[in-house]
Structure 1
Amino acid sequence: MTYDPEQHHRRSIRLPGYDYVQAGGYFITICTHDRTNMFGEVVDGEMQVNAVGEVVCAEWFRTAQIRPYVRLYDDEFVVMPNHIHGIIWIINDDVGATRRVAPARRVAHRVGATRRVAPTDPPRGPASGSIGAIVGQFKSIATKRINALRGTPGAPVWQRNYYEHIIRTEDALQRIREYIATNPLRWHLDRENPDEW
């Protein structure tokens, strides 16, 4: 079997040219690795979250505690058996503006000689304070806690990417909030539900 670079090239699903650090609402969907049901089950149209799902809930809402420019609301989040839906509000785009400055050289702690770490040019990964950085940190911390709980160090929990939609109107916000609230009622119709394949 030969390596085909086109087959392994990941196309970005982000909006080209959009600054994902700016203030606003972002509807986020994150699926589990291989869409495995691991967060609980839907019973009679209601999500019954298990211990792993409780970790996901706790870490989602902890995001707003560790990032003062983020707001999250109970009625804008749902854990499903193999994915989550939520709205992340970035409320202060001044925070993002200050985070976009070029990184200064950092000096490591002295161990013998002074070591310097050269800045990466261009920077790798999502911009600090961006939706990508917020989602990445959430996924990382939740994964560590879930794997500690299950005794599965290093096991994947999430798909590599996530889906995001920029909320631009009040009508869109209301439709998304309703979609989130009624998601468990539609689980039997969900194409991501392996029980329905």
Structure 2
Amino acid sequence: MSYEPDKHHRRTIRLEGYDYSQSRAYFITMITHKRVPFFEKTTIRRIVENCWLAIPSHFATVSLDEWIIMPDHFHGIIIIAGDVHLDAPAEDARDPHNRFSTISPKRNTLSVIVRTCKSAVTTQCRRMGQVEFKWQRNYYERIIRDEYHMHCTRQYIINNQSNEPV
């Protein structure tokens, strides 16, 4: 299948020119495909929880804040701190013959962290026989710019917990 820009275009929802590896807090939302309430299943819910909590062990400069698993989506706060380029390959380590090596997402960016988490959840679901599980493409993010917005975001997540089914 050939690429047709008018037909096969995906617009980014990210802030143009923003470096998502910056030391900052980010509010993210990951949604299940077609909003199917997969997270009502305890097995899948535990997988999501375990993969989320494992993020800091895979990304040394990342910590987690408030989070909640709802029936068809997940909200969480990711905090990227410190020198986020510690794990990035040196420029001379890139393969000049591989055209993707220079355009691939850099390590420790928000997109790599979220993609890694979503991929781990999907892989573990498949291994547990939950082959129907799928994520919606992409994820929603909001940059948390100050303490006031951090407080409001935390309250939003905490208030969501009261709406969670028992």
TM-score range for the pair, normalised by the shorter chain length? 0.7 to 0.9
Residue 147 (structure 2) aligned to one of 167, 170, 179: 170
Who is 1:182 aligned against? 159
Who is 1:70 aligned against? 62
Moved more, 120-129 or 17-26: 120-129
Who is 1:157 aligned against? 134
Who is 1:59 aligned against? 51
Q: Percent identity?
A: 37
1:128-166 C-alpha deviation (Å, 9 max, x unpaired): 1100000011111110001111252xx552111000101
What does residue range 54-133 of structure 1 map to in structure 2 within 5 Å?
54-73=46-65, 76-92=66-82, 94-96=83-85, 99=88, 101-102=90-91, 104-105=93-94, 118-120=97-99, 123-133=102-112
Aligned residues: 163
Structure 1: state its 5+ residue gaps. 41-48, 107-116, 189-197
Structure 2: state its 5+ residue gaps. none
Larger gyration radius, structure 1 or structure 2: 1
User: What is the SS of the residue equivalent to 1:51?
Assistant: helix
Residues 103/164 of structure 1: CA separation in 2 closer, same or farther (3 Å cut): farther
TM-score (norm 1): 0.73
Letter in 2 for 1:78: I
Q: CA deviation at 1:120?
A: 2.5
1:23-62 C-alpha deviation (Å, 9 max, x unpaired): 110000000111110011xxxxxxxx61101100000010
TM-score (norm 2): 0.86
User: What is the SS of the residue equivalent to 1:176?
Assistant: helix
What does residue range 15-54 of structure 1 map to in structure 2 within 5 Å?
15-40=15-40, 50-54=42-46
Return the alpha-carbon distance in structure 2 between the equivalents of residues 21 and 50 of structure 1.
33
1:79-113 C-alpha deviation (Å, 9 max, x unpaired): 01111000000111x2327627425156xxxxxxx
